[in-house]
């Protein structure tokens, strides 16, 4: 999938491919021209991705080739075992979770999962969890706490499912209970936004000792399109809404709402998935090492203090 702001890069890459083909099929020496164009392409890439607007970062976060939760989990674990069901209603396919080993350390992974094609997207409900999904997540967190296993949540959702049936089964209560109980978990909790982090749907599994964001992701109470439709009665102003919302990883770090930003390959996580998975794994292990040295009560106190300080005004 080609994004609009990437078109100038693609045009130069096509021209480069033509020059290389010409060099192979003829005796014309264009090696210097090829080197010059390659340098120009690299410079253009660096300038383009360094100066992305907030809306362009939102577009990158939704790129269909980006790795999703299970892609990361299967890449960084040796023996992932998925666990199912909330023991009350059913298994929510939009919320996945289970146990896996990362360099000898057992970890409970939980996260929203999107689909690659139409059938998968319907099965996964586009990554929008129902109440049973959040209850499944909490059940797995409590299990991890019981066996002293650290928790890693991977967040990628356009929001909790807003359907009538979800509200009937207590969507708001399920998310609120997760937020409350995650504050009191005695094990280390690391929350990482790997794509979209929208509203309470994201926050329902995002209360942790460390909250990190990938470089080209967003985290906000509302999506730019929904904000635009409320303020201007149209989706046409989504770019302005994105600027006003200040929802990028860089914005969140500046506001003190997250603890760190995980670098992505040039062009986005989908450009070099093995590298991105390894970078995520490295950050998880570093944070787990730091958190494991702390007492459980100390972690809980710092967790509560961190979130309580958010939004405070000093006069």
Angle at 133 between CA 130 and CA 135, to 5 degrees: 115
Neighbours of 230 (CB within 10 A): 10
Q: How confident is the model at residue 2 (pLDDT cuts 50, 70, 90)?
A: confident
Q: In this structure, what token pair is assigned to residue 90?
A: 């059913």
Q: How far apart are CA 169 and CA 164, in angstroms?
A: 9
Do residues 70 and 96 lie in contact, with contact meaning Cβ atoms separated by under 8 Å? yes
What is the rounded distance in angstroms from the CA atom of residue 259 to the CA atom of residue 291?
Answer: 13
Counting every residue written for the chain, the total comes to 315
Residues 6+ apart with CB under 8 A from 123: 93, 115
Confidence of residue 20 (pLDDT cuts 50, 70, 90): confident
The first and second tokens of residue 306, run together, are 């961190």
Angle between helices 69-76 and 273-292 (to 10 degrees): 70
- Contact between residue 103 and residue 57 where contact means Cβ atoms under 8 Å apart: no
DSSP code of residue 5: G
- Alpha-carbon distance of 159 to 130, in angstroms, equals 10
Q: Which residues contact 37 (CB under 8 A, 6 or more apart)?
A: 12, 15, 16, 19
Mean pLDDT of 59-71: 96
What are the extents of the domains in the chain? 4-51, 58-309
Q: What is the chain's Cα-based Rg?
A: 21
At residue 262, φ and ψ (nearest 5 deg) are -95, 125
pLDDT greater than 90 at residue 30? no
* Burial bucket for residue 63 (CB in 10 Å: 0-12, 13-18, 19+): middle
- pLDDT value at 315 more than 70: no
Give me the CATH code for the 58-309 domain, please: 3.90.226.10
| Between 16 and 107, the higher pLDDT residue | 107
Q: How far apart are CA 160 and CA 253, in angstroms?
A: 24
Position 190 scores a pLDDT of 98
Mean pLDDT of 272-285: 97
- Going through the chain in order, the beta strands assigned E by DSSP cover 81-82, 95-102, 105-112, 151-157, 189-198, 210-214, 218-220, 260-262
Q: What is the pLDDT of residue 1?
A: 76
Percent of the chain with pLDDT over 90: 87
The predicted-structure confidence for 119-169, as pLDDT tens digits, reads as follows 999 999 999 999 999 999 999 999 999 999 999 999 999 999 999 999 999
Contact 62, 55 (CB under 8 A): no
Provide the β-strand partners of residue 198.
220
pLDDT tops 90 at residue 27: no
Which SS3 state, helix, strand or coil, does residue 160 take?
Answer: coil
| Per-residue confidence (pLDDT) for residue 25, from 0 to 100 | 79
**pTM, whole model, 2 decimals?**
0.93
For 172-211, what is each residue's pLDDT tens digit?
A: 999 999 999 999 999 999 999 999 999 999 999 999 999 9
CA gap 227, 239 in Å, rounded: 10
What's the Cα-to-Cα distance from 246 to each of 45, 155, 257, 294, rounded to whole Å? 24, 18, 12, 33
């Amino acid at each position: 999938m080609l994004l609009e702001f990437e078109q100038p890069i693609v045009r130069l890459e096509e021209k480069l491919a033509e020059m290389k083909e010409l060099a192979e099929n003829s005796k014309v020496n264009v090696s210097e021209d090829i080197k010059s164009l390659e340098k120009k392409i690299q410079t253009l890439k660096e300038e383009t991705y360094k100066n992305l607007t907030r809306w362009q970062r939102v577009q990158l976060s939704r790129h269909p080739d980006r790795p999703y939760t299970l892609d990361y989990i299967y890449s960084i674990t040796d023996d992932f075992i998925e666990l199912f069901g909330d023991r009350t209603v059913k298994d929510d396919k939009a919320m996945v979770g289970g146990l896996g080993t990362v360099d000898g350390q057992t970890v409970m992974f939980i996260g929203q999962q999107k689909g690659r094609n139409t059938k998968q997207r319907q099965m996964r409900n586009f990554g929008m969890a129902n109440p049973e999904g959040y209850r499944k997540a909490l059940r797995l967190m409590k299990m991890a706490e019981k066996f002293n296993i650290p928790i890693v949540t991977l967040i990628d959702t356009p929001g909790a499912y807003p359907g009538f049936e979800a509200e009937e089964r207590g969507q708001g209560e399920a998310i609120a209970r997760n937020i409350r109980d995650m504050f009191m978990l005695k094990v280390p909790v690391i929350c990482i936004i790997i794509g979209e982090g929208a509203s309470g749907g994201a926050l329902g599994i995002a209360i942790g000792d460390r909250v990190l964001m990938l470089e080209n992701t967003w985290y906000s109470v509302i999506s730019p399109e929904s904000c635009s439709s409320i303020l201007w009665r149209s989706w046409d102003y989504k770019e302005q809404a994105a600027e006003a919302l200040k929802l990028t990883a860089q914005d969140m770090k500046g506001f003190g709402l997250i603890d760190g930003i995980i670098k992505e390959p040039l062009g986005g996580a989908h450009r070099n998935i093995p590298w991105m998975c390894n970078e995520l794994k490295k950050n998880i292990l570093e944070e787990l090492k730091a958190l494991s040295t702390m007492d459980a009560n100390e972690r809980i106190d710092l967790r509560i203090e961190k979130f309580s300080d958010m939004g405070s005004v000093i006069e």
